[in-house]
Amino acid sequence: MKKEFFNGLRDGVPIALGYLSVSFSVGILAIASGLTVFQGALMSLTNVTSAGQFAGIQVIAAGGALAELALTQVIINLRYALMSLSLSQNLSEDVTIRQRLAIAFANTDEIFAVAMGHGKNLTFSYMMGLESLPVLGWTAGTVLGAVAGEVLPASVSGALSIALYAMFLAIVLPVARRQRSVLLVVVLAAVFRCALYYLPMFAGISAGMAIIFCTVAAAFLGAWLFPVTGEEKEM
C-alpha cells in the first residue's frame, strides 16, 4: 500500500509542477476580479479545473447568480464525469464507492492520462498518491499568484494574467490544426460570444449565461456537422 502511494506521488510530480505555473495566472485573475487570497485558494482547493475556474471567476466578477455559476461548471466540467466512468473500468475491484468518489474529485485531464497509461488494477493508494501533489501544486500556485497580484503593479499583473489565455490557446491550437471540425467549433464559439457581447439585442444577457449558450451552441453544431463515425468510436 505504501509503495503504491509513493509510486503515485512520483508520477504526480510533473503534473504538480505544471499546475503550479498555470494556476499562478488563476490567482492573479482572482485578485483582479475582486476576490481575496483566501477565496482564490479555497476555490482552487475545491475545484481543480482551469477552464471551470476561469469561467467561474468571470461569472462572479460580473455578479452572476449562483444558478448561473453552477450550470456553467456542470457544462464546462462535464468531461470529467465521462473520464471518471472510463477510469472506473481500470480501478481495482477492492476500491469502494467512497474511495471512487474521492478519486473522482481530482480526476483531471492530466491525472486521467497518467492513470490510464499506468494500466489496469489501479489501487486507491496509487490514485491518492497521484492526485495529492497536483492538488497541492494547483492550490499553492493560486496562492502565489494571488499574493503577487496584491503586491505587483496593475500593469505587471495584467501582463502575467495573459498566461492563462496562452494555456488555452496551447491546448486548442494543435488539435485545431489537425482537425477542421475542432477549428470550426472554436470559431463558432468565438463568433457567438462576439455577437452576444456587441449586438444591442443581447445586452441583457449576463456573462454566465453567455458562456453557457456559446458552449452548448458551438458543441451542438459541431456534433451535428461532424458526427463521430463507427471507426472513430472504435478508436
Domain containing 39 equals 2-164
Across residues 33-59, what is the average pLDDT? 88
Question: Does residue 149 fall inside a structural domain?
Answer: yes
Question: Does residue 170 fall inside a structural domain?
Answer: no
Cβ contact 16:136 at 8 Å: yes
Residue with cell 463558432: 188
Question: Does residue 169 fall inside a structural domain?
Answer: no
Are residues 146 and 201 located together in one domain of the fold? no
Question: Does residue 30 fall inside a structural domain?
Answer: yes
Are residues 45 and 136 located together in one domain of the fold? yes
DSSP code of 91? B
pLDDT tens digit sequence for 73-114: 888 888 888 888 889 988 998 999 999 999 999 998 889 888
Nearest 5°: phi and psi at 109? Answer: -55, -50
Going 137 to 140 to 144 to 150, the CA torsion angle's sign is positive
Measured in whole angstroms, the distance separating CA 13 from the mean position of its chain's CA atoms is 19
Are residues 46 and 73 located together in one domain of the fold? yes
Q: Which three cell numbers stand for residue 53?
A: 475556474
Q: Model-level pTM? A: 0.73
Per-residue model confidence (pLDDT) at position 229? 64
Are residues 28 and 57 located together in one domain of the fold? yes
The total number of structural domains that make up the chain = 2
> Considering just the CA atoms, what is the radius of gyration of the chain in Å?
19
Cα distances (angstroms) measured from residue 151 to each of 40, 144, 145, 147, 173: 15, 11, 10, 6, 33
Are residues 80 and 125 located together in one domain of the fold? yes
Per-residue model confidence (pLDDT) at position 116? 86
Across residues 52-77, what is the average pLDDT? 85
Are residues 38 and 141 located together in one domain of the fold? yes
Question: Does residue 173 fall inside a structural domain?
Answer: no
Are residues 23 and 112 located together in one domain of the fold? yes
Domain endpoint, select from 137, 164, 191: 164
Q: Which three cell numbers stand for residue 84?
A: 471518471
